[in-house]
Amino acid sequence: MIEKTVAELAKALRAREISSVELTQAFLDRISRYKALNAFITVDANRSLAQARAADARLAKGEAGPLTGVPIAQKDIFCADGWRTTCGSKILSNFIAPYDATTIEKFNAAGAVVLGKTNMDEFAMGSSNETSFYGPVQNPWDVESVPGGSSGGSAAAVAARLAPAATGTDTGGSIRQPAALTNLTGLKPSYGRVSRYGMIAFASSLDQGGPMTRTAEDAALLLNVMAGFDPRDSTSLERPVPDYAATLDADIRGLRVGLPREYFGEGLNAEVARAIEAAIGEYKKLGAQVVEVELPNSKLAVPCYYVLAPAEASSNLSRFDGVRYGYRAPEYDDLIDMYSKTRAEGFGAEVKRRIMIGTYALSAGYYDAYYLKAQKLRRLIADDFTRAFEKCDVILGPTSPTTAFKRGAKTDDPVAMYLSDIYTISVNLAGLPGMSIPAGFDIKGLPIGLQLIGKYFDEARLLNVAHRYQQVTDWHDRVPPGFD
């Protein structure tokens, strides 16, 4: 059963070929067997199996939905009532969430089972899953390489078949980049499509939750549950939500695929480029038309992002002070000393770095020089996409400039690490939907991801375009050696 997709498992559960308890226990056993991957921070078998028993009762009554009884791993950034929710940080190491995030609430209502809370870069700050207080996550395709970040735990769990699907969050590529590095389908919806209520904030104007799965069909099933307006989230948009699974098989003949010249220049690994070119060839066979587009400001996306995101992080993370919840320094002299020591001991190096950068960018005398200019540039980046979409329906390119790199290879060079997200960051700055799908392997056997970018709230088209590609290729079916 571990080889079946979410769609196949849902069908087997409804046909009573397997119970949710049996399925959940099988994945729990596998999580325990491959504990060395460090994909999970918290697993609570009793809670998961209780949910599975409740799902079996719904199935027996004929009250099942598409995901009833299916175990889903949840990124440890989503608050889940009664579950330890750490965000990969020491400062929240003892925090038990007192409520459910909207995403968790929606999966619970759908009858899905929370399989566990997955490891992640601390407060979603990282591109390699090496900044987690709970240790780095191993990439199942090469245990000495990174799985990408910040949703690396979710990516490793699904890639190694420790879970049939997982949730992730994407601030600058944190769903798409790990999906590319672990041979998964990862979707970042349009900003405002998925509620951020109960999702611990990194950069509020950029963060967005989404699914990480093996196939586009599975991603559509999960997005059907996750998407929708939430009055508790001021950034949630009240728009109709289509059935994303209904249009997966639509014909894509005549589809205009835009290729940005900026995505195929210096810095792109040759093997990655060849895989993307081969994918373009498959789309041509499916009847798509290829057009060249320009995104002239995309080269400035990384510096723009690393002013705006740290600025928002410095504000969002000010709430972690040791007073109301979370870690508190054991020894201190007074209130100010308690604040200082708690944050110094509770936050890791990357989080401290971004808080300092953000505070500096927002400080008097530098706000106009850095933050305000970055906001103006963000508008120009969004305008580039608007003009590009006058010529095309979707934009295609690489997800990451390279395949997975070795652990420790970039930890001493933050700028090199930041450039791992060079093709994904601009999508977040513009608020557009984007996804990564498997598109091949390099000579070392490491996965390569193909990125698809859509118009605002055009997730259905992206899923359709991804699904049609997966119908004529089998990259997404490949399993890491030793995990089949």
Identity of the residue numbered 299:
K
CA angle (430 as vertex; 454, 375 as ends), nearest 5: 170
- The answer to whether the beta carbons of residues 181 and 211 sit under 8 Å apart is no
112's torsion region: left (phi>0), alpha (psi -120 to 50) or beta?
beta
Other Cβ atoms closer than 10 A to 405: 21
Given the residues 19, 75, 151, 410, select the one marked as catalytic: 75
Give CA–CA dist 481/271, Å, rounded.
21
- The answer to whether the beta carbons of residues 55 and 146 sit under 8 Å apart is no
Half-sphere exposure of 143 (CA within 13 A, CB side): 10
Given the residues 20, 174, 400, 420, select the one marked as catalytic: 174
Give CA–CA dist 435/396, Å, rounded.
10
Examine the residue annotation and report whether 150 is marked as an active-site residue of this protein: yes
Given the residues 127, 150, 151, 426, select the one marked as catalytic: 150
- The answer to whether the beta carbons of residues 83 and 100 sit under 8 Å apart is no
Helix ranges restricted to H, 191-258:
216-226
Question: Which DSSP symbol is given to 145?
Answer: B
Q: Give the chain's length.
A: 484
- The answer to whether the beta carbons of residues 168 and 175 sit under 8 Å apart is yes
Half-sphere exposure of 185 (CA within 13 A, CB side): 29
Cα-Cα-Cα-Cα dihedral sign, residues 147, 202, 420, 433:
positive
Query: Which are the catalytic amino acids?
Result: 75, 150, 174
